[in-house]
Amino acid sequence: MEFISVKDVVKEYETAVALRGVDMDVEKGRWVSIVGPSGSGKSTLLNIIGGLDSPTKGSVFIDGVDLGSLSEDAMARFRRENIGFVFQQSHLVPYLTSVENVMLAQYFHSITDEAEAVEALNRVGLGHRLHHRPSQLSGGEQQRVCIARALINSPKILLADEPTGNLDRENTRLILELLKKLHSEEHFTIILVTHDPFVSKWAERLLTMEDGRIIKDEPLYC
């Protein structure tokens, strides 16, 4: 079985259908981009893979674990050890500093280790912004804190939902270069959702979604 395996996933909301039967497999260590117009269900798919949402039908396996069989708390435990998230809006706790936001993820995972959190922020180039609160950081800096936090527990998978959606071109490039560097060092699997062709082409594989289905699956060589 593949590392990530999505089988015939359907997600229906009360008023709309977001996913109409999605099948996909991702090998370990790959960088996959999912593109498509808004409303095509790509964010929903990402949330379901990350266990933030549950499918109406179908199943998701990660590393052989059926997410549907996990209780909510078991899912949280699974998540903190295996999955890191980066969202479009940099969801940081507003009253904690950068380093404390990273430590929050350590706290839920096991115990806190400030030196390690500082090191992680150094790696994303924020060594000079350790004790600033999110409101004192620029959008790009906030996203870097998010990346540091997402990777602090050495997850096997990084799920990114429009991570550069709110950033200008220059910051977007910096973030993507950072991701590329970390990906080549730590070999985690990336699934990145975007509508921006500039962002999507950094991947090794490109999935295109439309109307709740995957309509195109092509390898990228860069």
Interface positions with another protein (CB under 8 A): 43-44, 47, 50, 52-54, 72-73, 76-77, 79-81, 85, 87-89, 91-96, 100, 103-114, 116, 119, 133, 149, 152-154
**HEC states along 2-51?**
CCEEEEEEEEECCCCEEEEEEEEEECCCCEEEEECCCCCCHHHHHHHHCC
Between 23 and 114, name the residue whose CB sits nearer to another protein.
114
Q: How far is the CB of 116 from another protein (least distance, A)?
A: 4
Residue closer to another protein (CB basis): 30 or 79:
79
Provide the β-strand partners of residue 206.
33, 218
State the nearest-atom distance from the C-beta of 18 to another protein, in Å: 11
Question: Nearer Cβ to another protein, position 59 or 153?
Answer: 153
Cα-Cα-Cα-Cα torsion 82, 195, 88, 115, nearest 10 degrees, comes to: 50
Q: Which residues pair with 193 in a beta bridge?
A: 34, 161
* Residue 95 or 198 with smaller CB distance to another protein: 95
Smallest distance, another protein to C-beta of residue 119, A? 8
Q: What are residue 216's DSSP bridge partners?
A: 208
Dist CA 182 CA 216 (whole Å): 27
Minimal distance in Å, beta carbon 136 to another protein? Answer: 12
